Amino acid sequence: MPPLELGLFFTGTDTGVGKTLVIAGVARILRRRGYGIIVCKPVASGATWKDGRWVNEDTVALAEAAGQVRDLDHVTHWTFPDPVAPPVAARRVGIELKLDEIIRGVKDKQESNKAMLIEGVGGLLCPLTEQETVADLVAALRVPLVVVARRSLGTLNHTLLTLEVAHARDLYVAGVVVNETTPPQSLAEETNLVELQKRIRVPLLASIPYQLRPLTGVPASLEAVDWWKLCSANL
């Protein structure tokens, strides 16, 4: 199966690290620079009932960033109410997720000369179907990977473990983005960014400082990255 022509897959070192914030920012940057983009979060678990359907807040944030607010189903094909691992959430409503169907759902959204920004669930080894993980989806799509890490106690271990998994599975990592979800409160949090740079063999693309911000904003540190060039890594 051929790789996506243009795109990036964003994974996290954990849940709640700020993947959606980063992707929404990248989407807005690329749109402002005149590039065509599509956002995609293939599977979302944890949703509220609104206007006759289940709606995930991350899906809404991505759709708004990409100008796709009228078609949330085009952003997320599978949305489940329970905030648990996708195969569990699917099972609870009588559905079994299949990797080939998820791959097809992503590729069907592909448009010529538009970059697809894809958000995974949790981290690389988060269960995606009854057998496969998010890493299996990344491998099948053969799309460059951006790792989003939360700057906190444990950042070094979580990030290095994620990169180790990516390397073991021969996944191409375009770089790491570190996001502060809370203000640094310890010596470990104040020093781990420098230590991380010493230990990783991929670019540290950006570090996003903590601030009270809506998802409609664009973190300034993301502006310096050539996201279109990263999206084009498969060409």
Q: Which of 41, 98, 107, 109 is catalytic?
A: 41
Give the number of other CB atoms < 10 A from CB of residue 52.
Answer: 6
Give the number of other CB atoms < 10 A from CB of residue 185.
Answer: 10
Place of tokens 């310890």: 186
Q: What is the dihedral of CA 165, 166, 170, 171, to 10 degrees?
A: 160
Q: How far is CA 82 from CA 87, 143, 156, 174, 221, in A?
A: 11, 28, 30, 32, 34
Residues 148 and 177 sit within 8 Å (Cβ to Cβ): yes
Task: State yes or no: pLDDT of 195 exceeds 60.
Answer: yes
Encoded amino acid at 192, one letter:
N
Q: Is 41 a catalytic residue?
A: yes
- pTM for the full model? 0.94
Record the tokens describing residue 201, joined without a space.
């063999």
Q: What percent of the chain has pLDDT over 70?
A: 94
Task: State yes or no: pLDDT of 4 exceeds 90.
Answer: no
Q: Which of 4-13, 19-28, 63-72, 139-148 has the lowest mean pLDDT?
A: 63-72
**H or E segment at 45?**
strand 43-45
DSSP at 104: H
The third-level CATH classification (topology) of the domain covering 7-231 is: Rossmann fold (3.40.50)
pLDDT per residue as tens digits for the range 82-133 = 999 999 999 999 999 999 999 999 999 999 899 999 999 999 999 999 999 9
